[in-house]
């Protein structure tokens, strides 16, 4: 009996954790950390680093939980998402709403009290951008949904920077541009792989509205654009040769995938490109960090 109770409790913890899209939030937090680090020549003071990571992490998790809540009916129609806590009935909509509100408000208070107003307000704007503008409106309205909605997910490097300096600067905006141009190849590669799922759920993702061939062309064009945007931190003197050399290798591999997907696709090329997109962005931000502290 006691074991049974412990098992139920553990299962429910896992479900709340799943609501927060933990791996996505972890990568968002890495980009915020790099935004903080690049804002100062020394290491970031723990008094800012800890509350900024906690506050941004809580608010991004809250946005992810709202996305689970609002999308529960379409998630139930797609093979990839039908085992989520709301479609399975493991959590009720009321519990998810309460959870999202509690962690969202907590995150805002942490940023407002221990970081600064500008970071709190910009993080709130990102939460609204993803949970309301993207999830409730754009996702169902236009195939450009993820391009525009991508701005919310691209904001964390700027949030990190403002947490340390209290002001907006062109340097973190370059990092925002990198994540912004990375998002279409990241998502459309997955959408090509899962096009049937999105069609079944009647979500107007690009492969559904404009076909697979056109989506692959867009992926290739955005990947070329991303390659150019990634050079900007080096050109403005924000990063050095270590970043430039590393990011060039990453971009060559990413371009290779985009080219293969368009002209020589195999069954799993789109899925492999999606998987690589995550390594691409993670290693790119680690390179920025290494370049900043090692050189």
Ligand X SMILES: CC(C)=CCC/C(C)=C/CC/C(C)=C/COP(=O)(O)OP(=O)(O)O
Query: Which residue ranges make up the site for ligand HEM (CB under 6 A)?
Result: 23-24, 27-28, 31, 80, 134, 146, 149-150, 153-154, 179, 183, 186-187, 190, 278, 281
- Give the one entry of ligand HEM, ligand X, none that residue 127 binds, where binding means its C-beta sits below a cut-off of 5 to 8 angstroms depending on kind: ligand X
Q: Which stretch binds ligand X (CB under 6 A): 3-11, 61-69, 109-117, 272-280?
A: 61-69
Q: Closest CB to ligand HEM among 51 and 150?
A: 150
Smallest gap from Cβ 152 to ligand X, in A, equals 5
Residues 76-95 that bind ligand X (CB under 6 A): 81
User: For residues 191 and 215, what is the distance between their CA atoms, to the nearest angstrom?
Assistant: 9
27 binds ligand X (CB under 6 A): no
**Which of 30, 29, 55, 33 lies closest to 44 in space, CA to CA?**
33
- Give the one entry of ligand X, ligand HEM, none that residue 36 binds, where binding means its C-beta sits below a cut-off of 5 to 8 angstroms depending on kind: none
Q: Which two tokens stand for residue 286?
A: 């680690």
**Which of 14, 273, 52 lies closest to 161 in space, CA to CA?**
52
Among 34, 49, 51, 67, binds ligand X (CB under 6 A): 67
Contact 177, 232 (CB under 8 A): yes
Question: Please, which residues have CB within 8 angstroms of residue 40's CB and are 6 or more apart in sequence?
Answer: 164, 165
**Which of 152, 149, 281, 269 lies closest to 215 in space, CA to CA?**
269
Q: Which two tokens stand for residue 140?
A: 């169902």
Query: Which residues would be at the binding site for ligand X (CB under 6 A)?
Result: 21, 24, 28, 59-60, 63-64, 67, 71, 81, 123, 126-127, 130, 135, 152-153, 155-156
């Amino acid at each position: 009996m006691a074991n049974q109770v412990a098992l139920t409790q553990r299962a429910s913890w896992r479900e709340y954790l799943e609501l927060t899209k933990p791996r996505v939030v972890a990568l968002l937090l890495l980009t915020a950390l790099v935004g903080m680090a690049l804002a100062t020549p020394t290491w970031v003071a723990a008094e800012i680093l800890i509350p900024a990571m906690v506050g941004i992490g809580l608010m991004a998790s809250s946005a992810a939980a709202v996305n689970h809540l609002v999308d529960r009916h379409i998630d139930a129609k797609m093979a990839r998402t039908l085992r989520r806590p709301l479609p399975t009935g493991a959590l009720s909509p009321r519990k998810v709403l309460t959870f999202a509100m509690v962690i969202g408000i907590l995150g805002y208070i942490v940023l407002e009290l221990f970081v600064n107003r500008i970071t709190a307000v910009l993080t709130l704007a990102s939460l609204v951008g993803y949970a309301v503008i993207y999830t409730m409106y754009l996702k169902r309205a236009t195939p450009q949904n993820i391009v525009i909605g991508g701005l919310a997910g691209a904001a964390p490097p700027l949030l990190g920077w403002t947490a340390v300096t209290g002001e907006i600067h062109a340097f973190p905006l370059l990092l925002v541009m990198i994540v912004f141009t990375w998002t279409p190849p990241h998502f459309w590669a997955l959408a090509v792989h899962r096009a049937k799922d999105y069609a079944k759920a009647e979500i107007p993702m690009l492969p559904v509205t404009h076909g697979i061939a056109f989506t692959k062309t867009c992926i290739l064009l955005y990947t070329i654009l991303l390659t150019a945007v990634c050079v900007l931190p080096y050109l403005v003197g924000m990063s050095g040769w270590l970043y430039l050399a590393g990011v060039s290798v990453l971009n060559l591999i990413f371009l290779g995938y985009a080219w293969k997907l368009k002209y020589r696709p195999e069954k799993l090329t789109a899925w492999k490109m999606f998987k690589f997109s995550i390594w691409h962005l993670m290693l790119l931000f680690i390179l920025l960090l290494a370049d900043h502290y090692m050189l």
